[in-house]
Copies of this chain bind each other. A is one copy, B any other.
Amino acid sequence: MKLSTKGRYAVTAMMDLTLHENEGPVTLSDISQCQGISLSYLEQLFARLRKHGLVTGVRGPGGGYRLAQPADRITVADVILAVDDNVDATRCGGKGDCQDGERCLTHDLWSDLSGQIYDFLNGITLAGLAERPSIREVMARQDLKHARSRAPSPSAA
């Protein structure tokens, strides 16, 4: 389990898709402008997300990306694992003969901890994140702005 800015970019971008899920596909240039990430770098990230079956791309005008699965079935761990490829784990490869053949217990310990971190992140879905109070608050403000032709109806998807 690795946790870097790359993973953060991916998660925030996926949240963008989640929050605008019912407004059609989201273009990468939108996310690029919002997040301040270069378009091509986003393309690279989304290529991986697509290969891992997390998003689907829609080409052409009006196209963009949308979630390939319901938001409550995609976890933060899924997203992070999709973008940063394999973790090499231990240096001694679990040979266990590092020093006197006994000292290497800390390796097991890390894999133990790492597993816990994974379980934790795997328990947080995009839908779950989107339901947080701090987010719903900002979403409500957005709804007001976007309701330009009619009275603000509380109808959510």
Contacts and interface: CB of A to CB of B under 8 A. Distances in A.
Contacts of A108: 134-135, 138
Contact of A129 (B87, B96, B113, B139): B113
A79 to B, nearest CB: 11
A117 interface: yes
A34 B4 contact: no
A107 B15 CA distance: 10
Contact of A34 (B3, B36, B103): B103
Copies in the complex: 2
B3 A106 contact: no
A33 B98 contact: yes
A142 B3 CA distance: 33
Contact of A134 (B4, B35, B109): B109
The interface residues of chain A, by DSSP majority, are classed as helix
Nearest to A76: B113
A135 B117 contact: no
18 contacts: A2-B4, A3-B3, A13-B106, A16-B106, A19-B106, A33-B99, A34-B99, A34-B106, A35-B98, A35-B104, A96-B157, A102-B142, A105-B139, A109-B129, A112-B134, A113-B124, A117-B120, A117-B121
